[in-house]
Amino acid sequence: MNKFFGHLSTVLKHRHMVMRHCFKAGIIKRGLLHDLSKFSPTEFIPGVRYFQGNRSPNEREREVAGYSKAWMHHKGRNRHHFEYWTDYNMETKSLEPVKMPDVFIFEMFCDRVAASKIYNGKKYTDDMPLKYYKRVKHKRLIEKETAAKLEFLLVLLAQKGENAAFRYIRRQLIRNKHGKTEWKGLVI
């Protein structure tokens, strides 16, 4: 029973924190829809079974089963994960990453910041999401421009804080609405 309430509490805290971040970033709909699949039996039951409190239950499920059925379900339904954005390339005849739309990059940023806050608790600092990203990015199959945009936001967070990062996202939303897709300061 402790694992049930521990997992439920973690999911709810994370979801509400992502919602707050999405609201600050101006992507209200993405915040409201964020991670609803975590309440499906396919994701919730393994989440309870493999709950540890200090890391994703998907990691433990992988250690035990060799893969995470919950993660495969989750990434296939949630467009804020870059893993969702892979497709078969007709020229190379292989599975390759494709560009993510900006709104999902913004939600991914909010998700990563919230996850870092949940798992690090009071020890959290604004550079932690960037440090984690840099530590694992060489192992990830993520499209080049998508990776550059995410890293740009994480660097902005680390250097200038949350308010600056959310302000930048809100400005990008306005630019995108007016057909201006240029990211000021982004180097790819």
Q: What is the predicted pLDDT for the residue at 182?
A: 75
Show me where the domains of the chain are located.
Answer: 80-177
3-state helix, strand, coil in the chain (%, to 5): 70, 5, 25
> Which positions ≥6 away from 37 have C-beta within 8 Å?
43, 73, 74, 77, 78
Residue 62, class by beta-carbon neighbours within 10 Å (0-12 exposed, 13-18 middle, 19+ buried)? middle
- Read off the tokens for 23: 């609201």
d(CA 4, CA 124): 25
What pTM does this model have? 0.93
Q: Which of 144, 80, 142 has its CA nearest to residue 109?
A: 80
pLDDT in tens, 50-103: 999 888 999 999 999 999 999 999 999 999 999 999 999 999 999 999 999 999
Q: What is the predicted pLDDT for the residue at 90?
A: 93
Q: What letter does residue 101 receive in the DSSP assignment? A: P
Residues of the chain where predicted confidence (pLDDT) is lower than 50: none
Give CA 10 to chain center in angstroms. 15
Q: What is the predicted pLDDT for the residue at 46?
A: 97
Q: What is the predicted pLDDT for the residue at 187?
A: 66
